[in-house]
Chain A
Amino acid sequence: MSHLGDRIAALVDGELSHDVRDRTLAHLAGCPECRAEVEVERQAKSLLAGLDTPLPSAELTRKLLALAEPGPPMPPSRRPFPGGFPGTERPPTLTAPRRRPANVPADRRRPAGRSNRRLRIVTVGALSGFAIVMGTAFVAGGAPEEPGPPLTPPIDRYRVEHAATVGGMPLMDPAYATTFGGSSQTVFSPAWPSQTVSPIGAGAGITGAGITGFPSR
């Protein structure tokens, strides 16, 4: 049964404005119950002022230090200290438990959720990396490479050469003549083929090391 309510603590702490303090003191002059309550409050304050500042518990210290470790950015809605960063706030007081949901144990909820999320992110990242590596290997492993420089066989020229040897054979059909379509006219340039290649005959260029001009495999 308090007429003044919160104003008793505020009066003792000197936090009331002048007008409110005068009205409060005027009331105290005619109310012995309130005078008794103010006396109790003054005694509690002086008792508390005489005690050492309580150190934070080890559990709280661990949690505060864990906050300093690098980690994924916390979403704004789940900041552990909505009122500001650690160090800028008053030390936790008896009123602090009111900020947490009353029905959930304080020290278990947020850290468990954060490690689940981290595990999920790491797993997805690892799977993606694995898929990228396997995909790159699959794409890179196309047709197997063979030794030697890449070359395009001059098939139009080969067709003419084939016709030149078949043309000398009777009893063949004239299909070889169809090689000489309009686009084949270019093969009759003087630069082709190299007719200066010396013929390979008996004793010419054949040694134990191989035939002159032909690369060994």
Chain B
Amino acid sequence: MTGLVPVAGAVLALTFLLGPPASADPALPPTVPAVPASDRKALAMLEQAAKAARSTAYEGVQFVSRWSPDGTTSMLVDIQHLPQDGTLMRVRGTSTEPGGEVFTASGGQSAGLSDTSGGPVELLARNYAVMTVGTGSVAGRRAVIVESRRRDASLAGRFWLDRQTGLMLRREVFDSRGATVRASAFIDISLGNPSFTGHLPPMLPEPWRARVAASDLTGLRAAGWECPDRLPAELARYDVRRADDGAGPVLHSSYSDGLSSVSLFEQKGRLDIRSLDGHREERRGDTTVYVKDGLQQSVVWSAHGTVYTVLADAPQETVQAVVAALPHEKVESGVVARMKRGFERVASWMNPFG
């Protein structure tokens, strides 16, 4: 019986020394469940897929679709990729969206992940558990299926990776309820050197050159710029740039969780609603935002002297959470508040000194 006391003491001491299990993301509070460990093979395959996108010559046709409560948008894209030269993408027009084309040169300055360590696969693994789940077939080619799951084990994304080259052939994104919200896949693909026939379209421009270093952000925030480090749900900022378009400086912050990407643009001023093209007004609680749907959703509003623009390739629920997390200005509604504003305005018009 007396031998149990030192054993118990040793167990307690070990418990205190080892502490709780290390979280995959030390920045999160300890009450959030850790991301389950990822499958090493799956991570390696995703790294291979990232390399193959640059180094494999191919041409094919992809469909891209987005599902939201407001409807479905789909597009067909002809893609040609030459490792030394670049990627040519031709979007086939539909009845509602015009076609277009863009050329991305190889070796161009990529956004990179200046604020985060590692690459995009590392970013994915930080937010999701990645594992291989089986095999499948896309456009006649055999593929390995890799899944990414959230902390609560719900499915977030699925990738079909070509068994021969590792190239990503198909990609699906799911919302928290398990519904497919985004999908893209090759419906036709052939490997080998395509030839760029005809005149190349305009090149995808380099992003704005003026990158903002993390050390500058304190000063920016003191000057009233938001530029949050993170956005819901797991979006981490990986790039900040600024430019000046004549109406004043613009700050562009880029966010990703490895699956979705969101851009936040901030500019000082107040929104001129009448000139917004194709956006519908949406009332969310006490505030009003302006939304345009499509494969990419844009949400615009202004609050406290800043115009916010969110561009998102993300599920609807992610976009709504992002917009809600940013500053808004309450609009007092109701007849009494409106008439009070009206009296103040009329008084200011009549005041010769105002």
Query: Interface range on chain B: under 10, 10 to 19, 20 to 34, or 35 or more?
Result: 35 or more
Q: Is A130 positioned at the interface, with any CB of B under 8 Å from its CB?
A: no
Within 8 Å by CB of B220, from A134, A184, A214, lies: A214
Q: How far is the CB of B165 from chain A (nearest CB, A)?
A: 14
Q: In the bound complex, what is the Cα–Cα distance between A37 and B62 (angstroms)?
A: 131
Q: Name the residue on A nearest B212 (C-beta).
A: A200
10 A-B pairs in the complex with CB atoms less than 8 angstroms apart: A134-B339, A147-B305, A158-B252, A168-B108, A170-B50, A173-B171, A175-B182, A178-B91, A182-B98, A217-B306
Q: Name the residue on B nearest A150 (C-beta).
A: B272
Q: In the bound complex, what is the Cα–Cα distance between A198 and B346 (angstroms)?
A: 45
Known: A176-B313, A192-B245, A217-B304. A161 touches B275 (CB 8 A): no
Q: How far is the CB of B122 from chain A (nearest CB, A)?
A: 12
Known: A147-B270, A170-B50, A217-B224. A138 touches B207 (CB 8 A): no
List A residues 163-217 near B (Cβ within 8 Å).
163-185, 188, 192-195, 197-202, 206, 210-211, 213-217
Q: Is B309 positioned at the interface, with any CB of A under 8 Å from its CB?
A: yes
Q: Is B5 positioned at the interface, with any CB of A under 8 Å from its CB?
A: no
List B residues 241-280 near A (Cβ within 8 Å).
241-249, 252, 254, 256, 258-259, 261, 263, 265, 267-273, 275-277
Q: In the bound complex, what is the Cα–Cα distance between A211 and B100 (angstroms)?
A: 38
Contact A167 B110 (CB under 8 A): yes
Contact A158 B309 (CB under 8 A): yes
Contact A193 B91 (CB under 8 A): no
Q: A146-B305, A200-B216 are in contact. List 14 more A-B contacts (CB 8 A).
A: A141-B337, A141-B341, A144-B332, A145-B345, A146-B302, A146-B304, A149-B247, A155-B300, A161-B252, A161-B263, A168-B111, A178-B294, A182-B93, A199-B209
Query: Chain B residues near A155 (CB, 8 Å)?
Result: 277, 292, 298, 300, 309, 311
Q: In the bound complex, what is the Cα–Cα distance between A143 and B341 (angstroms)?
A: 9
Known: A137-B342, A171-B49, A199-B210. A149 touches B245 (CB 8 A): no
Q: In the bound complex, what is the Cα–Cα distance between A151 and B248 (angstroms)?
A: 10
Q: Is A38 positioned at the interface, with any CB of B under 8 Å from its CB?
A: no
Contact B204 A164 (CB under 8 A): yes
Q: Name the residue on A nearest B240 (C-beta).
A: A200
Q: How far is the CB of A210 from chain B (nearest CB, A)?
A: 5
Q: Is A53 positioned at the interface, with any CB of B under 8 Å from its CB?
A: no
Q: Is B22 positioned at the interface, with any CB of A under 8 Å from its CB?
A: no
Contact B53 A215 (CB under 8 A): no
Within 8 Å by CB of B213, from A176, A183, A200, lies: A200
Contact A177 B77 (CB under 8 A): yes
Known: A137-B342, A206-B216. A178 touches B247 (CB 8 A): no
Query: Chain B residues near A179 (CB, 8 Å)?
Result: 100, 102, 296
Q: Is A142 positioned at the interface, with any CB of B under 8 Å from its CB?
A: yes
Q: Name the residue on B nearest A140 (C-beta).
A: B342
Q: In the bound complex, what is the Cα–Cα distance between A177 and B50 (angstroms)?
A: 18
Q: Is B205 positioned at the interface, with any CB of A under 8 Å from its CB?
A: yes
Query: Chain A residues near B345 (CB, 8 Å)?
Result: 140-141, 145
Query: Chain A residues near B121 (CB, 8 Å)?
Result: 171
Contact B204 A163 (CB under 8 A): yes
Q: How far is the CB of B241 from chain A (nearest CB, A)?
A: 8
Within 8 Å by CB of A164, from B77, B79, B207, B242, lies: B207
Query: Chain B residues near A1 (CB, 8 Å)?
Result: none
Q: Name the residue on A nearest B247 (C-beta).
A: A151
Q: Is B89 positioned at the interface, with any CB of A under 8 Å from its CB?
A: yes
Contact A175 B295 (CB under 8 A): yes
Q: Name the residue on B nearest A166 (C-beta).
A: B261
8 A-B pairs with least C-beta separation: A168-B110, A141-B342, A217-B224, A137-B342, A141-B341, A173-B184, A170-B50, A140-B342
Q: Is B200 positioned at the interface, with any CB of A under 8 Å from its CB?
A: no
Contact B91 A177 (CB under 8 A): yes
Contact A201 B213 (CB under 8 A): yes
Q: How far is the CB of A174 from chain B (nearest CB, A)?
A: 5
Within 8 Å by CB of A159, from B202, B249, B296, lies: B296
Contact B346 A180 (CB under 8 A): no
Within 8 Å by CB of B338, from A142, A163, A213, lies: A142
Contact A211 B220 (CB under 8 A): yes
Q: In the bound complex, what is the Cα–Cα distance between A49 and B205 (angstroms)?
A: 118
Known: A185-B100, A193-B243, A217-B305. A174 touches B205 (CB 8 A): no
Q: Is B21 positioned at the interface, with any CB of A under 8 Å from its CB?
A: no
Query: Chain A residues near B201 (CB, 8 Å)?
Result: 180
